[in-house]
Amino acid sequence: MATELNMPMLGEVMEEGRVVAWHKKEGDRVEAGEVIMEVETDKATMGVESPASGVVIKILVPEGTTALANTPLAVIE
């Protein structure tokens, strides 16, 4: 079953974040709770944990791209 990794709300007023770096690429295995990427907001850069264990089957938002909160960033199966 596929699980989407969405842009997290890293603060009460956060509307968007920029994908700074992916620590995994398509085809890589990831464990739930493992830091899979870094997101930059107007206040900080933070690691984002995988919501599920599995394989990264698709990265939807590349590094350097800004996305709105709750936007799907990747798919893990």
Beta bridge partners of 10: none
Encode pLDDT of 19-67 as tens digits: 999 999 999 999 999 999 999 988 889 999 999 999 999 999 999 999 9
Report pLDDT for 37.
Answer: 97
Give me the sheet containing 66-68, strands edge to edge.
45-49, 35-40, 16-22, 66-68
In this predicted structure, the answer to whether residue 13 has a pLDDT above a threshold of 80 is no
Report pLDDT for 56.
Answer: 98
Domain ranges of the chain: 3-76
Residue that wins the pLDDT comparison between 1 and 2: 2
Q: Which residue type does 64 have?
A: G
Domain 3-76, CATH number (from 2.40.50.100, 1.10.150.20, 2.160.10.10, 3.40.50.700): 2.40.50.100
The answer to whether the CB of 46 falls within 8 A of the CB of 38 is yes
Residue 12 pLDDT grade (very low, low, confident, very high; cuts 50, 70, 90): confident
